[in-house]
Amino acid sequence: MPSAIRSASPRQNGITKLTNCRLVRGDALVWDDVWVSSATGKIIRSQSAFYDELTMPDEVINLGGRIVSPGFIECQLNGAYGFNFSTATDDMAQYGKQLRDLNKQLARTGVTSYIPTVTSQTSDLYKKVLPYLGPSGSSRRAHDGAESLGAHVEGPFLNPTKNGVHNASILRVASSFSDLEEMYGAANITPFPGTQPPGSPIDSPSSSSSSSSHSTPSSPMSNNNLNGIPIKMITAAPELGAMTSLIPSLTARGIIVSIGHSEATYEQASTAVAAGATMITHLFNAMRPLHHRNPGIFGVLGVAETTQQQPQSQSQSQSQKKSQQPIEGREEEEEEGAKKQKKRPYFGLIADGIHLHPATIKIAWHAHPAGLVLVTDAMHMVGLPDGRYAWTNGEGEHFIVKRGSVLELEGTGAIAGSSITLIECVNNFLNWSGASIPQALKAVTATPAAMLGVEGVKGGLDAGADADLVILSEEVGEEGRTELVVDEVWKFGVRTFERGSSVVV
Amino acid sequence: MRFFIRDDAAAASAHVANYMVDRINHFAPTPAHPFVLGLPTGSTPLGVYKALVERYKAGEVSFENVVTFNMDEYIGIPRDHPESYHSFMWKHFFSHVNIHPSNVHILDGNAPNLEAECVQYEAKIQAAGGIDLFLAGMGEDGHIAFNEPGSSLASRTRVKTLAYGTILANSRFFNDDLDKVPKMALTVGVQTVLEAREVVVVALGARKALALQRCVEQGVNHMWTLSALHLHPHSMIVCDEDATLELQVKTVKYFKDIEQVARAQGFEQILPSKFPIRPATLPTTIVTDEFPAPTIHSPQPTTSRLLRATPATEYPLRSRSPSPDLIPRHLRVTPDTEYTQDTEYSVISRSPTPDFMPDRMASRIGEPGLLRRSTPNPAQGLQQHQRSRSPLQNLTPRTNIMT
């Protein structure tokens, strides 16, 4: 007897199909469907699921032409909703609780993963808080909200002349790797002290997420997977002490080295980049300005090197960044001579309209479009009313005054971070630069993912990636501004936020 | 053969999609009695799939109880290769409609035993009750599925070596690298297609003009395998104006005219069957060498008589051919219509073509005695004469068949 199989399959497979939507794919918006699984937390290869597992989605959601972006990745966040990563509490259990609350709230803004940033602090504080800030790794619970990819320590090996709001008195100079271990705590910077072979493959949260964790859930390290170390990124001034020579030791541990709060000249910055620095922390802020006779750190975004032919080097570094179809033969030939300039670092820009002029942002973007990472550098005053807020800054009592979106360190007039959200940065960038929507979204998804070495897992919509999604609608705001609005946030294949809905995670 | 010419490719595709949607909807498929669809790949049917997807999204058709069989698949490329026919079907059709994966059948070009795969495929088609409607495209050399010129018209599902021209044509999908183009494929045979209850072919563009001319205007020819369609009792070709370039003006005009006339008569040949065809109520297929009466009741599936190798009726047909559809509505005899002498319009129980009427010179003279004398069996002669003159008497048995 011939019979058709009913599509109403009784078993639930946790698969949702999002249809009638535009996906951010590279520099384009592509009309396509995306299938996500809440069981695996990943974007699934729909064709294989159909032919191999004979599965059909439990639910089909028609998005009515809205945009589906990978979840945003924030690379410079000091705190939010009244919680500062750099402020330890007497009872550290309270710290953990506040952190979890922050993660849930942060996810509602579209930020599904981030690297919590700890400013220049004393060694004690680093050792206290870093274990809590490590990568979430194998704990893949959708309703936990935003996920840490590891901590970003912004200091204290910074140049005192470019301290910004960091307390100059606690800034240090590193002369050997043990200085770093001493400052942050060896366990926070070196996995399994003594066993890490130099130059071993970078252990990113992604590659190790599959490995099982044997730690108990109650310990602060519970979120860390086997090889994960809490620190993912270090901002340092390469011109000080032996920092440049320490870069290879850091990168061998899978730690991203970012140049920032620095007086580095163009030459010093180039040397640091050649040594393995791959990021610049809030470009233009807390560094020498571009000078026409010495472009300083900004100069490394250029591609000029007298030994190279300009057009070739341009395309070379582009393809290098995208790691797509490098022309291998030529690449090898030029490897030695061009090594310095071939690697152009990624760079963070604070697009809040206060830290940088819109034209500056546009120039930087045009200098190196594939390297742009939009960051907020937001403080814990994000989401709080105007007022005077206490701030831990090494030693002593400090206060930051919030007036609208402007934050100032009390008594100095120095800009003390921002109180902007990442989607606002994207909207600012979108309207200032003339970038397309996918180009703007790339600066908070694919580019930071590549910078952190988690491409293929985060920041993309290809099959196999984590199903962290942001669903955006386009609205035309005042003066014809295009505004992207976060309508829904999906984490690990589960919808955790819906605008206008009272459902909270 | 029904032949429709539309102004452009979009209109032709829409015509086919409409036809399929009507077919499926009037079939009213159920899980126990699904509609079985044969499907092609290639650039020609893209428009049809697009239109079908639109109709599905508009809620006008459901593929929940539709079973599909694809024509062919390459051998030796991964199933998820972007150029595989699995990928094609997923990308252009299956991913957009509510068809269940268990109801989808595509030949596996990576099966360990390809011969067995082909035999199983035929068995699966039979198990599904045979194909109700086979949609097909046409190659530039007139091939249907991968049945290249010279293929046996009695062929079944099998491994097929591709012609050099086809490999060359396909290389555009493989970076123009001939080495990457699959050289072999699995394909249903010509006979497999002919066994479907209905075959609908789409031919679009000037490149198909020569093949269309061969297949429409000339006879059955194994070098233009699609021409075997002439042997099918219920086939249909839909093409655009460009594809008619090689046809005679007379041919084009003829088919356009009969379409026009048919439409004027309310006989558009898309008349859906009023009755869902169910296996339980089906009479056995009549296949005999002698036609039962001078009156043709309705077209019978006689395909296999011309292709003796494999009779078309190996598996039980669920329908006595699509006959109900071929009879114009106002000419059709339906069980809920009681025909009496008072019925105003005349009811003709035969096909629109004139009947064969026995006629002898003796009958024209008007002298009964002469007729009686020179007829071996005068009673029979008279009876036959009467019967053909009074069709109403024949209604009752035929009505029974229809129900």
At residue B108 the predicted structure's pLDDT band, cuts being 50, 70 and 90, is: very high
Question: Chain A residues with CB inside 8 Å of B84's CB?
Answer: none
**Confidence tier at B182 by pLDDT (50, 70, 90):** very high
Of the two residues A272 and A191, the one the predictor is more confident about is: A272
Sort out which chain A residues have CB atoms less than 8 A from B30's CB and list them. 4
Q: How far is the alpha carbon of B94 from chain A, nearest alpha carbon, in Å?
A: 9
Provide the mean pLDDT of chain A.
83
pLDDT tens for each residue of A81-94: 989 999 888 888 99
Contact A50 B94 (CB under 8 A): yes
More confident site: A137 or A399: A399
Cβ–Cβ gap B79/A54 under 8 Å: no
Are residues A51 and B34, on separate chains, in Cβ contact within 8 Å? Answer: no
**Contact call for B64 and A7, based on CB within 8 A:** yes
CA-nearest of B29, B34, B1 to B103 is B34
Residue A379 predicted with pLDDT over 50: yes
Q: Which of A382, A362, A459, A333 is nearest to A69 (CA)?
A: A459
A402-411: average pLDDT: 84
Q: How far apart are CA B168 and CA A226, in angstroms?
A: 53
Q: Smallest Cα–Cα separation from B153: which of B68, B215, B213?
A: B215
> Tokens at residue B156, please?
């079944």
How far off is chain A from B335, nearest CA to CA, in Å?
A: 28
What is the value of ipTM here, to two decimals? 0.75
Which tokens in the block code for residue B173? 């999908």
Q: What is the pLDDT of residues A202-217, one digit of tens each?
A: 443 443 333 333 333 3
Among all residues of chain A, which has the CA nearest to that of B89? Answer: A47
- Asked if omega into A156 is within 30° of 0 (cis), the reply is yes
Beta bridge partners of B237: B3, B201
Pick from B29, B91, B101: which is nearest to A54 by CB? Answer: B101
- What are the pLDDT digits (tens) for B329-359? 555 555 554 444 444 444 444 445 555 666 6
Reported as a single tens digit per residue, the pLDDT across A230-242 is 999 999 999 999 9
**Residue A2 is nearest to which of B98, B100, B127, comparing CB atoms?**
B127
Using CB atoms, pick whichever of B86, B87, B100 lies closest to residue A5.
Answer: B100
Show the tokens assigned to B270. Answer: 């898309």
In 3D, which of A469, A384, A365, A483 has the Cα closest to residue A425? Answer: A483
Rounded to an integer, the average pLDDT of A135-157 is 90
Q: Residues A33-41: what's their mean pLDDT?
A: 94
| C-beta atoms of B31 and A47 within 8 A | no
> Looking at per-residue confidence, does B9 or B302 come out higher?
B9
| A330: amino acid identity, one letter | R
Say if residue A158's pLDDT is above 80: yes
Nearest CA in chain B to A59: B98
Higher pLDDT, B374 or A340: B374
Q: Would you say residue A23 has pLDDT above 80?
A: yes
Residue A4 is nearest to which of B65, B86, B87, comparing CB atoms?
A: B65
Distance from CA of B138 to the nearest CA of A (A): 27
Please list every residue in chain A whose beta carbon sits closer than 8 Å to the beta carbon of residue B79.
51
pLDDT, tens digit, for every residue of B286-340? 555 554 444 444 444 444 444 444 444 444 444 444 444 555 555 555 555 444 4
Residue B367 annotated in active site: no
Q: Are B224 and B147 in contact (CB under 8 A)?
A: no
Scored b (16 or more CB within 10 A) or e, B268-306 reads: eebbebeeebeeeeeeebeeeeeeeeebebbebbbbbee
Query: What pLDDT score was predicted for residue B263?
Result: 83
Nearest to B155 by CA among B146, B168, B164, B166: B146
Confidence band (pLDDT; 50, 70, 90) for B373? low
- Rounded to whole angstroms, the Cα distance separating A440 from A425 reads 9
pLDDT band per the 50, 70, 90 thresholds, residue A343: confident
Sequence spans of domains, chain B:
2-306, 324-395
Q: Say whether B64 and A54 touch across the interface (CB within 8 A).
A: no
Helices (H), B206-278: 209-217, 249-264
Mean pLDDT on A315-333: 45
Q: How far apart are CA B49 and CA B52, in angstroms?
A: 5
Helix (H, G, I), strand (E, B) or coil at A408: strand
CB A156 within 8 A of CB A260: no
Entry pTM: 0.76
Chain A residues with CB inside 8 Å of B34's CB? Answer: 2-4
As a whole number, the mean pLDDT across chain B is 78
Is a pLDDT exceeding 70 seen at residue B238? Answer: yes
Angle at A99 between CA A504 and CA A147, to 5 degrees: 70
- Partners of A7 on chain B (C-beta within 8 Å) are 64, 98-100
Which sign does the torsion angle of CA B370, B373, B378, B379 carry?
positive
Q: How confident is the model at residue A5 (pLDDT cuts 50, 70, 90)?
A: very low
pLDDT of B334: 54
pLDDT at A226: 39
The CA distance from B92 to the nearest CA of chain A, in Å, is: 11
Instruction: Give the residue from A251, A291, A284 showing the smallest Cα distance to A267.
Output: A291
Q: Distance between CA B276 and CA B320 in Å, rounded? A: 12
Q: Which of B363 and B123 is assigned the larger pLDDT?
A: B123
For residue B88, give the chain A residue with the closest CA: A47
Buried b (16+ CB within 10 A) or exposed e, A414-435: ebbbbbbbbbbbbbbbbbbbeb
B-facing residues of A in 26-85 (CB < 8 A) are 33, 45-48, 50-51, 54-56
DSSP B30: B
- Give how far A462 is from chain B: nearest CA, Å: 15
Tell me the helices (H) and strands (E) count for chain A, helix number first: 14, 23
CB A350 within 8 A of CB A284: no
User: Which of A332, A346, A463, A462 lies closest to A75 in space, CA to CA?
Assistant: A346
pLDDT of residue A13 exceeding 90: no
| Range in A274-278, B174-178, B204-208 with the lowest mean pLDDT | B174-178
Is residue A35 pLDDT above 60, yes or no? Answer: yes
Q: pLDDT band for position B386 (50/70/90)?
A: low
Q: Quick one: pLDDT band at residue B278, thresholds 50, 70, 90? A: very low
Backbone angles phi, psi at A164, to 5 degrees: 60, -125
Residues of B in contact with A4 (CB under 8 A): 29-31, 34, 64-67, 100, 103
Helices (H) and strands (E) in chain B, counts: 14, 10
Chain position carrying tokens 């989808």: B104
CATH number listed for the domain at residues B2-306: 3.40.50.1360
pLDDT: which is higher, A109 or B392: A109
- List CB contacts (< 8 A) between B36 and chain A: 2
Q: What is the pLDDT of residues A413-446, one digit of tens each?
A: 788 888 899 999 999 999 999 999 999 999 999 9
Percent of chain A predicted with pLDDT > 70:
82
Q: Is A386 annotated as catalytic?
A: no
Cβ–Cβ of A46/B95 closer than 8 Å? yes
Q: What is the Cα gyration radius of chain A?
A: 23
- Kindly provide the residue ranges of all beta strands, DSSP E only, lying in A119-230, ordered along the sequence: 147-148, 151-154
B33 has catalytic annotation: no
